[in-house]
Amino acid sequence: MDGGSPEYYYEEDDDEPVSGSFITKLLTQTGLLRVLLNSDSVIESSRAPRNGLQFVPDELKEVDQKATLLKLGNRSVEGELHEAKANAKIVLDDKQPFPFPLTVLTTDYLGVTDEIWNKYEAEFTSWSLQGKQLVIKDTDHYIHQFRPDLIADEILALTKR
């Protein structure tokens, strides 16, 4: 599950509402994004932050492209981002330790570490009586696209804890 520390979203999130960029809205609402996604270079650049989807079968790459067209900048995604601070406050108001193990996998952003994010991710382990954090080297936001082997190993290890 992709997530972050509620403390981060409550304490570090600014009060400015988050919204998609003007360019994203223009591209999606005019259909230009659909046209651009016929270009190999645009497809490659959209996949670059996700390790080029190198571990994903071609059929699922097509599904990914369709999902991008359907979900990029939609109201549900925008609403979730806009409500991040308020939702974090609700979670924090009823904070209780998880009775189950929690492994927090944190990216090293390809060697450009985000110290604030890492601080909150390390503290996020306190939400579980059996929490631990691993900083995964040479990965970006989508850790599973860079190290699917490690993700699988950690899930198996988690089931044994």
* Residues 109-152: tens digit of each pLDDT: 999 989 999 999 999 999 999 999 999 999 999 999 999 999 99
131 DSSP β-pair partners: 102
* Residues 63-113: tens digit of each pLDDT: 999 998 888 877 787 778 788 899 999 999 999 999 999 999 999 999 998
Residue written as token pair 């954090």: 133
| Close Cβ partners of 47 (under 8 Å, ≥ 6 residues apart) | 53, 61, 64
User: Which helix (H) or strand (E) element contains residue 4?
Assistant: none
Q: What is the pTM of this model?
A: 0.82
Which tokens is 9 given? 């979203």
* Residues 12-55: tens digit of each pLDDT: 866 554 556 788 888 888 999 999 999 999 999 999 999 999 99
Residue written as token pair 């990965």: 139
